Amino acid sequence: MRPRREPGPSRQDTGVSEAGSCPLFAEFEMPLSRLRLAAASTALLTAACAAPAAQAATPAPPPAGAAFDYQIGGAYDPPEGVKVVTRDHGTAPAKGLYNICYVNAFQAQPGAEGEWDDDLLLRDASGNVVMDGDWGEALLDVGTAGKRTRIAAKVDSWIDECAAKGYQAVEPDNFDSFTRSDGLLTDADAQDYIKLLSAHAHEKGLAIAQKNTSELSARHTQNGLDFAVAEECGEQHNCGEFTAAFGDHVIVIEYTAEGLSYACGHWPRLSIVRRDHDVVTPDDAENYVRETC
């Protein structure tokens, strides 16, 4: 939470009108020439005060349908024609492109449980840490407001890092961790937490993605999410659940030839790429895969 502002000086001290919007000239005698100048200044101030306060611009999402590359396993020169790239928050963005900053916001990186306070790791009734078995990642406990605030403080520092490096957006991964929590977390917990992240990202001028979790797409506005990153929605035949909420502002990542073919055939206006499961760099020629429609 931000500290409460200290009370400011009174309107009488500042010369602010009762409406609280503009300074007024104090009553005093002056020569005619100065009266004319004052009148002109007053007119300018009145016009300025009549205009509504400028609203902060909403950060722009990635351009819809732009060629995309997913580089969270390591940075490399983007293939020709690529306009949008996702990289890990510890990596510099690609020059001249729209860059999305990846952060693992709902789970600890493999082997990195010690980087989190022990009570922020989700535990079952026996006290064992609940793990995402597919990736060997400990789930973070976003089940209470206090823990959500503490976890968000750490992730917010990564978002700050993304903004400082020049990224345009952030991708907080594992929004759907509640589905792997053995019932210990709920979708409401996840949404309350991601609202903290989206508010902070927007304060830093970054757009923010909804990662997977198609069942919550209809609530993306309430959750402050600007676009979607959908893994395997071609494979699962559910990209339409994302486009129904986000329109064409959906980035699709497939890991099989079948998934790529289905996504390209049914949603050709989206940004679609196939990558290898480990998202390796081209230096690993044996395992590197990158295909598009």
Tens of pLDDT along 76-99?
999 999 999 999 999 999 999 999
Residue 4 lies in a domain: no
Q: Do residues 236 and 102 share a domain?
A: yes
Task: Tell whether the model's pLDDT for residue 132 goes beyond 60.
Answer: yes
Question: Is residue 129 domain-shared with residue 249, that is, in the same domain?
Answer: yes
Specify if 3 maps to a domain. no
pLDDT above 80 (res 41): no
Distance CA 89, CA 91 (A): 5
Number of independent structural domains in the chain? 2
Domain limits for position 26: 11-50
Helix axes 145-165, 187-203, angle to 10 degrees: 40
278 and 226 co-located in one domain: yes
| Same domain for 148 and 181 | yes
Is the pLDDT reported for residue 46 higher than 90?
Answer: no
Q: 247: domain CATH number? A: 3.20.20.70
Q: Are residues 148 and 266 in the same domain?
A: yes
Q: Are 126 and 247 members of one domain?
A: yes
> Residue 190: inside a domain, yes or no?
yes
pLDDT at 162 over 90: yes
Q: Are residues 20 and 148 in the same domain?
A: no
Specify if 61 maps to a domain: no
Q: Is residue 24 pLDDT above 70, yes or no?
A: no
Q: What pLDDT is recorded for position 32? A: 40
Axis-axis angle for helices 257-266, 239-246 (nearest 10): 40
Whether 43 shows a pLDDT value over 80: the answer reads: no
21 and 113 co-located in one domain = no
User: Which pTM does this prediction carry?
Assistant: 0.81
If DSSP codes are grouped into helix, strand and coil, which group holds residue 157? helix
pLDDT at 34 > cutoff 70: no
Asked if residue 55 belongs to a domain, the reply is no
User: Which residue type sits at 69?
Assistant: D
In terms of domains, do 40 and 111 share one? no
Residue 1 CA to residue 165 CA, distance in Å, equals 25
Residue 251 lies in a domain: yes
131 and 161 together in one domain: yes
- pLDDT reported for residue 57: 76
Q: Are residues 181 and 251 in the same domain?
A: yes
pLDDT, average across residues 2-27:
34
Is 159 found in the same domain as 214?
yes
Structural domain includes residue 218:
yes
